[in-house]
Amino acid sequence: MPTGTGPKADVLAAFEAAKGFMPVHEGLALYAAATEAGALGLPLLEVGTYCGRSTVLLADAAREAGTVAVTVDHHRGSEEQQPGWEYHDPTVVDPETGRMDTLPTFRRTLHQAGLEDHVIAVVGRSPQVARVWGGRIGLVFIDGGHTDEHANGDYEGWAPHLAEGGLLVIHDVFPDPADGGQAPYRVYLRALASGAFTEISVTGSLRVLRRTAPGI
């Protein structure tokens, strides 16, 4: 897969400054995939916005390609981000409701990066949004909930919308259970076993697959 020239320095700085968990080398691989997929002229879709760290990269790639990034999240945090869990951040809790609300932080991230005009933010649960989605997509980036229920729901909802030649990107793929949860890894194996995808790159926990056949 072509790596391209990478994001501009200001975009990379915005990515690094944003709240989130994706390391730089995986972000660069995501950007390369988004740049390649952008050539299809179709939307680049992300499941799991959080505070917009990876959205910055997708939005810049979309801007360069003349398309748009779509990011889907209910903004209430995934399982491991709830109070008492490892990735909980109390600064993104709404003091009025006492619930996680990453939407304001996400909007600030996009504003500071100057990329608001290149993103459609959909606030809702991934399977519900997928059911009403009507068009094809050039890239699907699965980085939402990490239970089997949520990871499989994201795959089942969005993979059928992926255009032939488009890219399926899955984050947090850990073959060794000692490194992390297994749900994204099982979805990755499921995609390969479908016969509809061919793996084209591995960068850390990021897998990039190309849709090469129907049959999802």
Q: Which residues are catalytic?
A: 146
Token pair for residue 11?
A: 């975009």
Q: Cα 42 vs. chain centroid, distance in angstroms?
A: 16
Q: What are the angstrom distances between the C-alpha of 6 and each of 15, 33, 148, 151, 177?
A: 12, 10, 33, 28, 31
CA 79, 82, 180, 216: dihedral to nearest 10 degrees?
Answer: 20
Task: Tell me the C-alpha distance between 118 and 185, whole Å.
Answer: 30
Pairwise CA distance, residues 73 & 119, whole Å: 13
Residue 199 phi, psi dihedral angles, 5° rounding: -70, 135
